[in-house]
């Protein structure tokens, strides 16, 4: 988890509330991504970014929005939270050239939507 | 059918055993194959990655890829209690990783 931080670590929301998860990295990595992990399942890609100012949809993008205004930050937004969005969210980064020698995940954000 | 299938386990072995973890996949376009270790309540940690077919060894860990069978394996030799974790396989599809569901491994002292 070197160099990748996620804020907050835990959060409880009520249905319909909004929130933003922040991923920050200090490694100057081009690629950043957001995954969710549900019990008994692997990680599923929500959105990703291949550089500052760019974003793209992943496997499960509905109900989420993202922004990458600064290279070091990747924000994940929930406009109107639903219980189905209860999950653990992981941010990841990857170095230039999509190098797996430089790939890291953050420690995760545990989100509960009541 | 999921693109990547992985037996969820749990797999329980005695200390010192050789562990074999496996994944199958359906997309022949995958080129990179990864194995991650994830301790409870932590983020995934990349253990090894392999490009295309073949073997790769790193200490007690060996990764194998058989593209003709769409089958990948991770072997852990001389397993230790500290190896107890969930192991996730993943495959690369155009800047996107497709993960298996993970196999829980418990190494008993």
Write out chain B in H/E/C secondary structure.
Answer: CCCEEECCCCEEEECCCCEEEEEEECCCCCCEEEEEEECCCCCCEEEEEEECCEEEEECCEEEEEECCCCEEEEEECCCCHHHCEEEEEEEECCCCEEECCCEEEEEEC
Cβ–Cβ gap A100/B90 under 8 Å: no
Q: Does pLDDT of B1 surpass 90?
A: no
- Per-residue model confidence as pLDDT tens digits over A21-63: 999 999 999 999 999 999 878 899 999 999 999 999 999 999 9
pLDDT of res. B54: 85
What is the 8-class DSSP label of residue A83? G
Note the pLDDT tens digit of each residue in B52-109.
888 999 999 999 999 999 999 999 999 999 999 999 999 987 778 899 999 999 999 9
How many whole angstroms separate alpha carbon B62 and alpha carbon A88?
Answer: 29
Closest chain A residue by Cα to residue B89:
A42
The predicted pLDDT at position A61 comes to 96
Residue B73 buriedness (CB in 10 A; 0-12 / 13-18 / 19+): middle
- Give backbone dihedrals phi and psi of B82, rounded to 5 degrees, phi first: -70, -10
B8 touches chain A (CB under 8 A): yes
Residues linked to residue A29 through DSSP beta bridges, in sequence order: none
CB contact under 8 A, A31 and B95: yes
Is A106's Cβ below 8 Å from some Cβ in B?
A: yes
């Amino acid at each position: 988890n070197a160099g990748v931080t996620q804020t907050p670590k835990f959060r409880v929301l009520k249905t319909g509330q909004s929130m933003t998860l922040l991923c920050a990295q200090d490694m100057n990595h081009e690629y950043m991504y957001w995954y969710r992990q549900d019990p008994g399942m692997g990680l599923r890609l929500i959105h990703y970014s291949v550089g500052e100012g760019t974003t793209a949809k992943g496997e499960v993008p509905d109900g989420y929005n993202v922004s990458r205004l600064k290279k070091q930050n990747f924000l994940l937004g929930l406009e109107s939270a639903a219980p189905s969005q209860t999950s653990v969210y992981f941010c990841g980064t990857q170095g230039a050239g999509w190098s797996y020698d430089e790939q890291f995940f953050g420690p995760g954000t545990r989100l509960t939507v009541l | 059918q999921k693109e990547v299938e992985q037996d969820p386990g749990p797999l329980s072995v005695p200390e010192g055993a050789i562990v074999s973890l496996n994944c199958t996949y359906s997309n022949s376009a995958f080129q990179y194959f990864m194995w991650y270790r994830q301790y409870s309540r932590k983020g995934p940690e990349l253990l090894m990655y392999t490009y295309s077919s073949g073997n790769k060894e790193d200490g007690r860990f060996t990764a194998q890829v058989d593209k003709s069978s769409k089958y990948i394996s991770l072997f852990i030799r001389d397993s230790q209690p500290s190896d107890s974790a969930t192991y996730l396989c993943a495959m690369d599809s155009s800047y996107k990783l497709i993960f298996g569901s993970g196999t829980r491994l418990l190494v008993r002292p």
